[in-house]
């Protein structure tokens, strides 16, 4: 027992424990990858059996040190290469490791593991255990030879092996869960196994590759992967701070394949082409012909409706057709007959003095009967909502309006516009002009003629450009965007550039922008083809 008080024995024991753990990590990684092929209930059992077999095998080999020494004696020679028993074991283990690692990499690169757990074919339990035994034999031989070369006392060797395997047993489950939960780590580990297999084959042929080179390459790769995992975790944390509705909408739009989401998204945050490798794979696999342009437009309108403001949906104040109750009856009758609208707000003198809402045909009948316009309109009060109301909550208000419209006012009670069910439909499916209206966006050669009051959401969907809408800004129309960009009301002929878009003011007055011509730069690949 005196050797237990020798400091060199303890130093050798600690060093050997560390080396045994390091030499056992590759074995542990391979066991984790093989165990993943089994049903979930059998994985822990296979992992424990694999590590227990490795422990038994190493202790058994340590007890046969005299036999292990004979393994280095050449048995035969081929073409100038002498092969011992140890060389043959290393060659067999190296080729087996190269084969298994290559097959595993091929399976993952071909995405065969994405078939779904319900239809997934699991490997046989004993087939996996047999593969673990073969690899344990190779890795155990390497570990035992290292132990023999470092320490002369058999009890110290066995103690180091037992402690190292105990540490590996404790760390095996967390490491296995981590490896299987991170596909990039699995690929990295398989690459390590290819390197180790190559080194075993080289050693079997008598070419010694210093372990320091392998460990340096593996350590550097692990460091890079660590940075990758940190960046991924920070990205997921950043994404989790964004509203679930917004993230879901972007994911669905990417899966439809109709948008280039590499651009900055409309909320000012950088959009992810990435969010996950699975989503990217689905995006690539889904043909763009699966959805037509009109379908993509409507789905996009539904998904982005909640993020829009009421001001971007409503008919603005300047476009409201309203009936002045103070005007003569003949003028009111003529107005009702000359316009295609079926509903009108009735006001006294100005739009902000709303009395109620009337249907054109009912008011015409009432006028024939000599009923007072204001009295008739007062029977149907107007529903008023603030301009800060959420569009989703607006839908419930429109249902209560029973086919009528709601008036939108600001904090001072000044009318800003009105919203009908048709306005919400147009926000989702695109514009439906009335008889007395022209479309807000008209194709014009290589560009578009756009009204100043055009909704920015509709414009950016048409142009496939996602930097026009900024929720932090107060404007909702093209005119508002251009005034904000210029800092003043632009003059006719002026051009405002928001790369790759160019906005030329065609028609404007002293107080508003009426018409703008929009052009878009062609992508570089299209220019080269032209």
Query: Which pLDDT score is estimated for 145?
Result: 61
Place of tokens 């699966």: 290
Q: What is the pLDDT of residue 137?
A: 67
Question: What letter would DSSP give residue 122?
Answer: P
Q: What is the pLDDT of residue 8?
A: 66
- The predicted pLDDT at position 118 comes to 45
Contacts 24+ apart (CB under 8 A), 44-47: 44/173, 45/125, 46/125, 46/128, 46/129, 46/132, 47/172, 47/173, 47/176
The CATH number corresponding to 311-429 among 3.30.9.10, 3.10.580.10, 3.40.50.1970, 3.40.50.300 equals 3.10.580.10
DSSP string, 190-203: HHHHHHHHHHHHHH
Tell me, rounded to whole angstroms, the distance of Cα 64 from its chain centroid: 56
Distance in Å from the first CA to the final CA of the chain: 88
Name the residue ranges covered by the structural domains of the chain: 2-209, 243-307, 311-429, 441-529
pLDDT attached to residue 526: 53
Element (DSSP H or E) covering residue 343: strand 343-347
State the Cα–Cα distance between residues 118 and 299, nearest whole angstrom: 30
Contact partners, residue 494, CB within 8 Å, separation at least 6? 486, 504, 505
Report DSSP letters for 447-498, one per residue.
EEEEETT-BHHHHHHHHT---S--TTSS--BHHHHHHHHHSSPPPTT-EEEE
Model confidence pTM above 0.75 = no
Beta strands in 176-319 (DSSP E): 315-316
| Sign of the torsion formed by the C-alpha atoms of 253, 257, 259 and 260 | positive
CA distance 312 to 476: 5
Q: Going residue by residue through the chain (530 aa), what tens digit of pLDDT does each one get?
A: 455 566 666 776 677 677 666 666 666 777 777 777 778 788 778 778 877 877 787 777 777 765 665 667 777 888 778 888 778 877 877 787 788 778 877 877 776 554 444 445 566 777 877 777 777 666 666 666 655 555 556 677 777 778 877 887 777 777 777 766 777 777 777 787 788 778 878 888 888 877 777 778 877 887 888 888 888 888 777 766 666 666 666 667 666 654 443 343 333 343 344 444 445 554 455 554 556 667 777 777 787 787 788 888 888 888 888 999 999 999 999 999 888 888 999 999 999 999 999 999 999 999 999 899 999 999 999 999 998 888 888 988 998 888 889 999 998 889 999 999 888 888 888 777 766 667 788 888 888 899 888 888 778 777 877 778 776 777 778 888 899 888 888 889 999 998 888 999 999 888 889 899 999 887 655 555 55
The answer as to CATH 3.30.70.1230 being correct for domain 441-529 is no
Predicted local confidence at residue 359, as pLDDT: 92
Residues 336 and 458: beta-carbon distance below 8 Å: no
């Amino acid at each position: 027992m005196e050797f237990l008080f020798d400091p060199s024995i303890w130093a050798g024991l600690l060093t050997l424990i560390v080396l045994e753990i390091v030499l056992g990590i590759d074995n542990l990684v391979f066991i984790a990858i093989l165990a993943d092929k089994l049903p979930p209930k059998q994985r822990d059992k296979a992992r424990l059996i694999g590590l227990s077999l490795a422990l038994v095998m190493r202790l058994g080999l340590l007890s046969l040190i005299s036999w292990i020494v004979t393994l280095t004696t050449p048995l035969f020679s081929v073409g100038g290469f002498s092969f011992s028993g140890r060389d043959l074991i290393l060659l067999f283990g190296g080729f087996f490791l190269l084969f298994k690692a290559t097959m595993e990499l091929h399976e993952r690169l071909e995405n065969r593991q994405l078939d779904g757990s319900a239809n997934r074919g699991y490997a046989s339990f004993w087939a996996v255990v047999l593969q673990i035994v073969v690899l344990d034999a190779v890795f155990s031989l390497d570990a035992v030879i290292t132990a023999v070369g470092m320490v002369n006392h058999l009890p110290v060797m066995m103690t180091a092996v037992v402690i190292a395997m105990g540490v590996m047993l404790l760390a095996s489950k967390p490491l296995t869960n981590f490896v299987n939960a991170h596909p990039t780590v699995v690929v990295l580990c398989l690459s390590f196994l290819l390197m180790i297999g190559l080194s075993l084959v080289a050693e079997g042929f008598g070419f010694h590759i210093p372990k320091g080179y392998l460990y340096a390459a593996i350590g550097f790769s692990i460091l890079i992967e660590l940075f990758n995992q940190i960046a991924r975790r920070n990205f997921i944390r950043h994404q989790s701070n964004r509203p679930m509705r917004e993230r879901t909408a972007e994911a669905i739009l990417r899966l439809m394949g109709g948008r280039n989401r590499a651009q900055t998204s409309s909320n000012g945050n950088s959009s992810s082409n990435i969010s996950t490798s699975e989503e990217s794979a689905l995006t690539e696999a889904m043909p763009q012909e699966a959805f037509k342009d009109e379908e993509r437009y409507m789905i996009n309108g539904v998904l982005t409706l909640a993020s829009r403001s009421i001001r971007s949906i409503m008919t603005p104040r300047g476009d409201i057709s309203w009936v002045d109750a103070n005007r003569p009856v003949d003028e009111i009758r003529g107005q009702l007959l000359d316009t295609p609208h079926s509903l009108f707000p009735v006001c006294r003198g100005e739009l902000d003095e709303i009395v109620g809402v009337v249907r054109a045909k009912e008011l015409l009948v009432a006028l024939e009967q000599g009923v007072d316009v204001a009295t008739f309109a007062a029977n149907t009060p107007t529903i008023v909502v603030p301009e800060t109301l959420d569009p989703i909550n607006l839908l419930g208000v429109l249902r209560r309006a029973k086919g009528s419209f709601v008036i939108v006012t600001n904090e001072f009670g000044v009318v800003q516009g009105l919203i009908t069910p048709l306005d919400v439909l147009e926000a989702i499916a695109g514009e439906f002009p009335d008889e007395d209206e022209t479309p807000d966006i008209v194709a014009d050669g290589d560009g578009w003629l756009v009204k100043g009051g055009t909704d920015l959401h509709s414009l950016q969907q048409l142009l496939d450009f996602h930097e026009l809408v900024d929720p932090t800004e107060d404007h909702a129309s093209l005119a508002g965007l251009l005034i904000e960009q210029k800092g003043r009301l632009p003059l006719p002929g002026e051009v405002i550039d928001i790369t790759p878009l160019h906005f030329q003011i065609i028609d404007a007055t002293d107080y508003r922008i009426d018409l703008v011509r929009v052009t878009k730069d062609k992508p570089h690949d299209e220019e080269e083809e032209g």
